[in-house]
Chain A
Amino acid sequence: MADEGRVGISTDAAPQALRPDIASGRRRLPLAWLGTVPFFAYAIAFLFVPAGAVLLGAFQDKNDNPTLANVRLLFNHPYIDAYKTSFEISIVTALIGGIVGLFIAYAAIREGTPAWVRSILTTFSGVAANFGGIPLAFAFIASLGPLGIVTVFLKNQLHFDLYGQNFAIYSKLGVEITYMYFQLPLMILVIAPAIDGLRKEWREAASNLGAKQWQFWRYVGLPVLMPSILGAMILLFGNAFAAYATAYSLSSGSVNIVPILIGAYYSGNVLDNPHLAQAMAFGMFAVLALMMLIYIPLQRRAARWAK
């Protein structure tokens, strides 16, 4: 494998020295494999078995007999509406967050912007991307809630009544605005290395050949960046699709998205069939697995131009 090739001449014997069984031609009990047993045992017990329980439970009725009824129910009201809202929030925040994040990242990286701007932006993005859930929801209630600082400021100083305009922080729009707080930093962190991959020489070559700015972007910049942008947007989609705590705290559980519906089963007894919650979880798993299947080939293409 690649790692052994890297060892070089001086330590050529190392792989063999560390694997006496190869040198002697005897097959021994592979001790190295034994060393990975704890890790895999843990992953099986706490990852595969629970994930399997969700997959299996989604297709079982109350007496554990196989059935498609739960999954079929997902396509009816109110469950299909929850998926629809989840999709809308995820797509809107992935698209807008992706585009705005790209512009902010490009503004910080492009020539002419001092280097400290980028290092501050990256540091802050690292913090903000990890600042989610309950505290984030509170920060937005404090700003845009009915008695929030921004709401009151707009009303008293600018005579603009935000809540008279059908806006509410616990509505779908409010959730979307709040999600941007972790979507934008995620986009900035993920897309920055790809922007670094746009070499200065390409732009110079394009302009030497007489290309205008838009022609550079149309024929060179965007085609090179596109797989990275799409891949990053898929990450953003999954990020919003799976979010629970922020929406829960913003709306006290009233926004109709899939994670909140699943959570409602466990906190109150809104649903009497645990297999329905498992079916909803299975539905989320199916959507995210599909996203991953699109993401991996995109990631491979994007890696072509990475430095």
Chain B
Amino acid sequence: MTLSAVIWLLLGAAYFIIPLFATLLISLKSTQTGKCCTAHNYGWVLHNGDFWHTLRLSALLAVETIVISLALFVPTIYLIHLKLPRLRPVIAFLALVPFIVPPIVMVVGLLRTFKGTPDWFYQKPYGFLAASYVILAFPYMFFSLDAGFRSIDVHTLTEASQSLGAKWPTTLFRVILPNIRSAALAASFLTLAIVMGEFTIANLAAFHTFPIFIQFVSESQGFPAGALTLMSFGITWAAMLSLLLVGRKRGARGAVIAGAR
């Protein structure tokens, strides 16, 4: 290794580790004395009702978003690989849309469009917010699943399945789905990470999700906010490591375009 390579890598490492280390130190300080070290802040978080409430809401939103996105994307991408290859550029374009229409722009349009729709949709996170998050998941779903379908022979699998007398649902669920499982899981973990951290739409549409709770705590109580920040980092870390475990392929590009900024 040359000296310049070592210096660049060390500089990068310092920049990335120092903020996390500072957060760790802050999270161990006592609220009463301002001194190190106590686990009290972690206890405060774990005994906070709003923490569990908002964490559960965000987790359920993530699950709902993943289920809806997979239901929309798996059949569609299956069909474009099997029969409609001409449609592929159209859907690839849609997957790039979050770059041109970021959450801050999208939420303005969503609020204008759906204002006045029934309360069960507009006033409920599981309606309005989940519907918006599915759009945020577009790039993750497309890039992962498209790569997954490209790596299997869709035509042969479908033909074989049908020759053996399988109907469409059987082909889709018992032949195709197991073969693209790791791509679907990768897309799901990315979606999980994004929904657990999404602040923009939730804030402007006034829903109390997990990131809104972190913001509330960091405005009012510094030390517990450190504990929360590390926990949130842990969630992102776990989601990305799970992604690596299921085999990261070509989802990376889509993954990094739209983050929770």
Give the B-binding residues of A (Cβ under 8 A): 1-4, 7, 11, 14-15, 17-19, 32-33, 35-36, 38-39, 42-43, 46-47, 49-54, 57, 100, 103-104, 106-108, 110, 112-114, 117, 121, 123-124, 126-143, 147-150, 180-182, 184-186, 189-190, 235, 238-239, 241-246, 248-249, 252, 259, 262-263, 266-267, 274, 277-278, 281, 284-285, 288-289, 292
Contacts and interface: CB of A to CB of B under 8 A. Distances in A.
Contact of A46 (B22, B110, B153): B110
A262 B108 contact: yes
Contact of A112 (B2, B73, B82): B2
Interface size class of B (residues with CB under 8 A): 35 or more
Contacts, number: 293
Contact of A262 (B75, B104, B110, B228): B104
B5 A107 contact: yes
B130 to A, nearest CB: 10
Interface in B113-151: 113-114, 131-132, 134-135, 138
A3 B149 CA distance: 11
B12 A104 contact: yes
Contacts of A134: 197, 199, 211, 214-215, 218, 229, 232
A129 B259 CA distance: 7
Counting from the closest, the 8 A-B pairs by CB-CB distance are A50-B109, A242-B102, A245-B199, A243-B261, A149-B22, A107-B5, A143-B22, A139-B19
Of listed B80, B81, B104, residue having the most chain A CB within 10 A:
B104
Given A127-B240, A242-B261, A266-B111, 13 more contacts: A3-B155, A32-B82, A38-B76, A47-B97, A108-B5, A113-B5, A114-B1, A121-B12, A132-B197, A141-B218, A142-B23, A239-B259, A245-B203
15 contacts: A3-B81, A18-B155, A36-B75, A39-B72, A47-B101, A51-B105, A126-B248, A126-B256, A134-B199, A139-B233, A242-B261, A245-B211, A245-B261, A267-B204, A278-B112
B174 interface: no
Interface stretch (B42-50, B51-59, B84-92, B177-185): B84-92
A244 B261 contact: yes
Contacts of B199: 133-134, 244-245, 248-249
Contacts of B104: 242, 244, 259, 262-263, 281, 284
B84 A112 contact: no
A112 B1 contact: yes
Nearest to A103: B8
Contacts of A124: 16
B39 interface: no
Contacts of A238: 99, 102
A2 to B, nearest CB: 7
A4 B81 CA distance: 9
Interface of B: 1-2, 4-6, 8-9, 11-12, 15-16, 18-23, 25-26, 71-73, 75-76, 79-87, 91, 94, 96-97, 99-114, 131-132, 134-135, 138, 153, 155-156, 158-159, 190, 193-194, 197-200, 203-205, 211, 214-215, 218-219, 222, 225-226, 228-229, 232-233, 236-237, 239-241, 243-244, 248, 252-253, 255-257, 259-261
Contact of B12 (A33, A142, A184, A274): A184
Contacts of B135: 46-47
A43 B98 CA distance: 12
Contacts of B134: 42, 46
B109 A15 contact: no
Contact of A149 (B25, B91, B228, B260): B25
B1 A252 contact: no
A54 B112 contact: yes
Contacts of A38: 71-72, 75-76
B136 to A, nearest CB: 10
B197 A135 contact: yes
Contacts of A278: 108-109, 112
Nearest to B71: A38
Contacts of B190: 130
Nearest to A258: B104
A149 B76 CA distance: 50
B102 A288 contact: yes
Contacts of B106: 47, 50-51
Contacts of B197: 130-135
Contact of B261 (A11, A133, A235): A133
Nearest to B94: A43
A104 B13 CA distance: 10
A259 B204 CA distance: 11
A107 B155 contact: no
B102 A181 contact: no
B135 to A, nearest CB: 5
Contact of A49 (B19, B71, B113): B113
Contacts of B110: 46, 50
